[in-house]
Structure 1
Amino acid sequence: MSSLCVLLRKTRPLLHSLSPAMQKHHQYTLDVTASLVRTQSFVDGQWTSAASVFPVLDPATGEEIARVSDCGPAEAKRAVDAAYKAFHSWKQVTAKERSVLLRKWFDLMVLHREDLAKLITFESGKPIQEARGEITYSASFLDWFSEEARRVYGDIVPSPHRDRKILLLKQPVGVASIITPWNFPSAMITRKAAAALAAGCTVVVKPAEDTPLSALALAELADQAGIPAGVFNVVPCSREKTPSVGHVLCTDPLVAKISFTGSTATGKVLLRMAADTVKKASMELGGHAPFMVFDSADVDQAVTGAMGSKFRNSGQTCVCSNRFLVQSGIHDVFVERMGRAMDAELRLGHGSDPNTTQGPLINARAADKVAHQISDAVTQGARVVRGGKRLEGSFMEPTLLCDVTTDMLCTQEETFGPLLPVIRFNTEEEALAIANASNVGLAGYCFSQDVSQIWRVAEALETGIVGINEGLLSTPEATFGGVKQSGLGREGSKYGIEEYLDVKYMCFGGLKP
């Protein structure tokens, strides 16, 4: 198969804190199978150009990778209409047939894993090793829900009357609008779309403006797998057109369900728009995860967990630990070993360099936010133990702070960057009070060797996900979702498909006893 090469040339060296490869004038090459680099919208099984285009940039260099069709409300409406038309035939396809098609899509993702990973690296900045991991994770949802498609069971309920039977039947809700973020540009689509298609729903995907290439590559593979026209649609658009496209996807009466991953503020806007037509909604919103390390913890285990939880994707995941609460008895040794681990394991650079563990943040605004939080903390008395510098472009040094208090911005709002602030605490009650003093609750982490304490803390944490002596949690077999203002519903696991199903009660009467 032919390949498409996009050459990205650095015009200026980055600062000294980057890896040696990034300190030199360097040429980075996106070399992938040409058919996977799609730049048009995918609607009703057809690749279609919009009237205008918008650029997709490599966040590590600022260079343009591609120009993608800039869809507007008209294109979004056409996608909804196509999905609605396709729904009436797709819901009649047997669960076994849907399962087979999802499995073919999975096989194609595995086959093209390296190309798909490269697309993620160049459009999001994610290090290539992590991008490969995301593709494996992304494909796992197609695998999982290909099996769950055949396990959508209803119920026959014992009736209180001898002349009737009670049946509970599960049916697909209809068209689902799927709006996804840039930090997991492949996995956040398959986690939603695989469940929807397995249930018998059709979808319209609006990917993040920073990372549309991954979504369009998924559409290409879905088409190759034989997913029928109109079942899986993708409408990319720029930041400027996102509000108008989002309005169509959240208000059109033909849409039965919206599923969104992103900020709490945006989720509230989408929920308001969906309210007039009373759509089903799944919301995976902001996090502010506490990472609690108690005196009984294995410190090396806690440091390993912290490294994985905090610095994966340069701190740009919704389950990244944001507030590190360390008990007084082991506070100093934890900070010291944490600093050593950062020195030994973290390397800044372009994501395509296999030695890179920390790529750029998604854009300069993201780096500015981290730098502002560090400045605010230092002004109020925090001490920089490692890092702390804002670098060229959207690069940010991984930073370790101690002497942090709950008055500082970094402990009050989600960072979404490589900043690790450590708060010293004395008692379990104090730690829980700090951990739960948030209006969001997605993930929380507890490191302890005291089994009784683990149970107390895990049950008391106001989060939808708890990691116990473990910093990496996500898997398709388990639920993903939060409490409080971290969202509604659950993704993954056997419960994820339920978000795309209605339960119909059938009362079968007039039977002769």
Structure 2
Amino acid sequence: MKFLEELGIKAVNPGISTGTKWMQGSGDVASFSPVDGLLIGRVGMAGKHEYEEVMQTATRAFEQWRTVPAPRRGEVVRQIGAALRAKKQALGSLVSYEMGKSLQEGLGEVQEMIDICDFAVGLSRQLYGLSMHSERPSHRMYEQWHPLGIVGIISAFNFPVAVWSWNAMLAMVCGNVCVWKPSEKTPLSAIACQHIVAEVLERNGVPEGVLCLINGGHETGELLAADHRVPLVSATGSTRMGKAVAVTVAARLGRCLLELGGNNAIIISRDADLDMALVGSLFGAVGTAGQRCTTTRRLIIHESVYESFKAKLVKAYGQLRIGNPLDESNHVGPLIDQAAVDSYLGAINACKAQGGRFIVEGGVLSGPGYESECYVQPCIAEVEQDYPIVHTETFAPILYLMKYSTLEEAIAIQNNVPQGLSSAIMTLNLREAELFLSAAGSDCGIANVNIGTSGAEIGGAFGGEKETGGGRESGSDAWKNYMRRQTNTINYGTQLPLAQGIKFDV
């Protein structure tokens, strides 16, 4: 495929890089496309020796990079954004082919990378601190922010490039260096990104080790989490994985930035614009074949509009086009692999066993147009909110419907799950909207009105509460995660008074 050649992807690819220098690795892994089941390429995987070489290079790079003025660091990120613009079509196609999301979503993911570069460039001139009045005469107090050092980035398969950029571009302008451990399921997308940024790094004389890539298995992630040289580990993935990372990092008093599971709901009010609600619910539920942490997994629908909205939804599901995601006429591509298909089928069986009634049946799709065994039918089940499966995140296009009578009841149902990432309400009633956004409303990190649960913009901080991990990435003041705060007091007088009026005469 032409886009593979354009991105420098070969049949066998070195998988470890310190920026512009590549290493093959101690072993390798094969990347198969869920689109057609074909082998895309093999990737070298890091062992302990390669890991140590990368970490030593990154440590040396930080000593230089932290002294580069922040606007100059921002200029390098600006050029990375320009390089991504030039490769948007090719990289978006690879993301779609290796991961299975629709081409439009693959291109959208690359656009997120471009957008975060733009955001980071502006941020490079705004790494501000506060100035405070001192209680002591002839004293001035202020705070400033300094880079942390090495930022370890562990990313997931469902957003194989965008989440790395959220972390790396902000960390770079803040003066940090980055070591990226991508998902073993999408290693080639990461390699393509490294090829793109390597040209920019070399052109600007950026120290070797500022942006590093380590393809490896879970052992590599464990090394990052346990490494005292890594003050911050940003990990995206399952709640189970996040808990393991958190324990390891906490044991050495390091910092974690965790973006974990979601079990997101849309409340559909009797005062909703049902056509608008349909669009938000449909894309939220089936986008990326249900493999987003912000996927809509639950619809909580007012009893007065339940039947009419259900009919609209069933009709819309009947019009979905499922197939090769590189064909832009298709809405839904495949799941990532056979393990994901097994999880999907297991959740369907569990839902039925617990009493769920499917109004759109699920199942594995086969025949013409389905070139692998990873294509499944997005499905809908009517459930009760206390079914155990409803409280579980299944990374697949399964949508649960339930009724409510009062908004307070709907909010309680929405909040009554372990996860707390994204949420939404569809209503034209101002009082309902404001209650949903109040302290008595949604307990999620993201709460939307009249849009769905997925499709966050980079300008706002992204992340959630409870078992979602509490992390915040991307916009707003998320940059502070990548820096350490220092409080400074300057005495410009001729005396040395003590705080709190303490006397210490000698």
- Report SS of the residue matched to 2:124: helix
Q: Does 1:90 align with 2:69?
A: no
Q: 1:507 Cα deviation (Å)?
A: 1.9
- Report SS of the residue matched to 2:447: strand
Match of 1:507 among 470, 489, 497: 489
| Partner of residue 368, structure 1 | 342
Q: Is the 8 A contact 1:76 1:249 kept in 2?
A: no
Q: Is the 8 A contact 1:81 1:254 kept in 2?
A: no
- Report SS of the residue matched to 1:153: coil
Match of 2:443 among 458, 462, 487: 462
Q: 1:101 Cα deviation (Å)?
A: 0.4
- Report SS of the residue matched to 1:336: helix
Q: Does 1:477 align with 2:452?
A: no
Question: What does 1:379-418 align with in structure 2 at a 5 Å threshold?
Answer: 379-392=353-366, 393-402=373-382, 404-418=383-397
Q: Is the 8 A contact 1:171 1:501 kept in 2?
A: yes
Match of 2:6 among 33, 43, 67: 33
- Distance in structure 2 (CA, Å) of the matches to 1:87 and 1:306: 45
Q: Which amino acid aligns with 2:318?
A: D
Q: 1:30 Cα deviation (Å)?
A: 5.6
- Distance in structure 2 (CA, Å) of the matches to 1:75 and 1:321: 40
Q: Which amino acid aligns with 2:70?
A: A
Question: What does 1:184-203 align with in structure 2 at a 5 Å threshold?
Answer: 184-203=159-178
Match of 2:290 among 315, 322, 325: 315
Q: Does 1:431 align with 2:410?
A: yes
What percent of counterpart residues are identical? Answer: 26
- Runs (4+) off by over 6 Å: none
| Partner of residue 161, structure 1 | 136
- Report SS of the residue matched to 1:260: strand
CA RMSD, Structure 1 to Structure 2 (Å): 1.7
- Report SS of the residue matched to 1:307: helix
- Distance in structure 2 (CA, Å) of the matches to 1:408 and 1:376: 9
Question: What does 1:261-410 align with in structure 2 at a 5 Å threshold?
Answer: 261-344=236-319, 346-392=320-366, 393-402=373-382, 404-410=383-389
- Report SS of the residue matched to 1:255: coil
- Distance in structure 2 (CA, Å) of the matches to 1:339 and 1:138: 35
Residues 1:52 and 1:116: Cα distance change in structure 2 (over 3 Å): same
- Distance in structure 1 (CA, Å) of the matches to 2:356 and 2:238: 27
| Partner of residue 43, structure 1 | 18
Q: Is the 8 A contact 2:391 2:418 kept in 1?
A: no
- Distance in structure 1 (CA, Å) of the matches to 2:354 and 2:174: 52
Q: Is the 8 A contact 1:441 1:484 kept in 2?
A: yes
- Distance in structure 1 (CA, Å) of the matches to 2:488 and 2:386: 56
Q: Is the 8 A contact 1:87 1:231 kept in 2?
A: yes
| Partner of residue 503, structure 2 | none
Question: What are the Cα deviations for residues 305-327 of structure 1, in whole angstroms up to 9, with x where unaligned?
Answer: 10121111111100111111111
* Greater alpha carbon shift after TM alignment, 487-496 vs 360-369: 487-496
Question: What are the Cα deviations for residues 11-56 of structure 1, in whole angstroms up to 9, with x where unaligned?
Answer: xxxxxxxxxxxxxxxxxx7654053565431125311111221100
Match of 2:427 among 416, 437, 448: 448
- Distance in structure 1 (CA, Å) of the matches to 2:223 and 2:344: 33
Q: Which amino acid aligns with 1:130?
A: E
- Report SS of the residue matched to 1:367: helix
- Report SS of the residue matched to 2:401: strand
Say how many residue pairs are matched.
480
Q: Is the 8 A contact 2:19 2:213 kept in 1?
A: no
Q: Is the 8 A contact 1:45 1:228 kept in 2?
A: no
Question: What does 1:37-186 align with in structure 2 at a 5 Å threshold?
Answer: 39-43=14-18, 45-186=20-161
- Distance in structure 1 (CA, Å) of the matches to 2:8 and 2:173: 26
Q: Is the 8 A contact 2:233 2:255 kept in 1?
A: yes
Stretches of structure 2 that go unaligned for 5 or more consecutive residues are 367-372, 496-506
- Distance in structure 2 (CA, Å) of the matches to 1:153 and 1:233: 27
- Distance in structure 2 (CA, Å) of the matches to 1:155 and 1:407: 48
Q: Is the 8 A contact 1:80 1:255 kept in 2?
A: no
Q: Is the 8 A contact 1:39 1:66 kept in 2?
A: no
Q: 1:225 Cα deviation (Å)?
A: 1.2
| Partner of residue 12, structure 1 | none
Q: Is the 8 A contact 2:7 2:91 kept in 1?
A: no
Q: Which amino acid aligns with 1:217?
A: A
Q: Is the 8 A contact 1:467 1:473 kept in 2?
A: no
Q: 1:118 Cα deviation (Å)?
A: 1.5
| Partner of residue 212, structure 1 | 187
Q: 1:408 Cα deviation (Å)?
A: 3.0
Q: 1:200 Cα deviation (Å)?
A: 0.4
Q: Is the 8 A contact 2:15 2:213 kept in 1?
A: no
- Distance in structure 1 (CA, Å) of the matches to 2:15 and 2:85: 24
Question: What are the Cα deviations for residues 423-474 of structure 1, in whole angstroms up to 9, with x where unaligned?
Answer: 1122222212211112220111111111111111222111000121101441
- Distance in structure 2 (CA, Å) of the matches to 1:256 and 1:105: 25
Q: Is the 8 A contact 2:23 2:50 kept in 1?
A: no
- Distance in structure 2 (CA, Å) of the matches to 1:356 and 1:72: 40
* Greater alpha carbon shift after TM alignment, 220-229 vs 359-368: 220-229
Question: What are the Cα deviations for residues 161-183 of structure 1, in whole angstroms up to 9, with x where unaligned?
Answer: 11322121110011110000000
Q: Does 1:419 align with 2:398?
A: yes
Q: Which amino acid aligns with 2:207?
A: P
Q: 1:265 Cα deviation (Å)?
A: 1.1
Q: TM-score with structure 2 length normalisation?
A: 0.91
* Greater alpha carbon shift after TM alignment, 407-416 vs 79-88: 407-416
| Partner of residue 25, structure 1 | none
- Report SS of the residue matched to 2:473: coil
- Distance in structure 2 (CA, Å) of the matches to 1:361 and 1:105: 30
Q: Is the 8 A contact 1:32 1:118 kept in 2?
A: no
| Partner of residue 489, structure 1 | 471
Question: What are the Cα deviations for residues 183-232 of structure 1, in whole angstroms up to 9, with x where unaligned?
Answer: 01010110111111010000100000011111111111211112431000
- Distance in structure 1 (CA, Å) of the matches to 2:223 and 2:343: 31
Residues 1:34 and 1:246: Cα distance change in structure 2 (over 3 Å): closer
Q: Which amino acid aligns with 1:118?
A: S
* Greater alpha carbon shift after TM alignment, 283-292 vs 42-51: 42-51
Question: What are the Cα deviations for residues 458-495 of structure 1, in whole angstroms up to 9, with x where unaligned?
Answer: 22111000121101441111110111121133111131
- Report SS of the residue matched to 2:311: helix
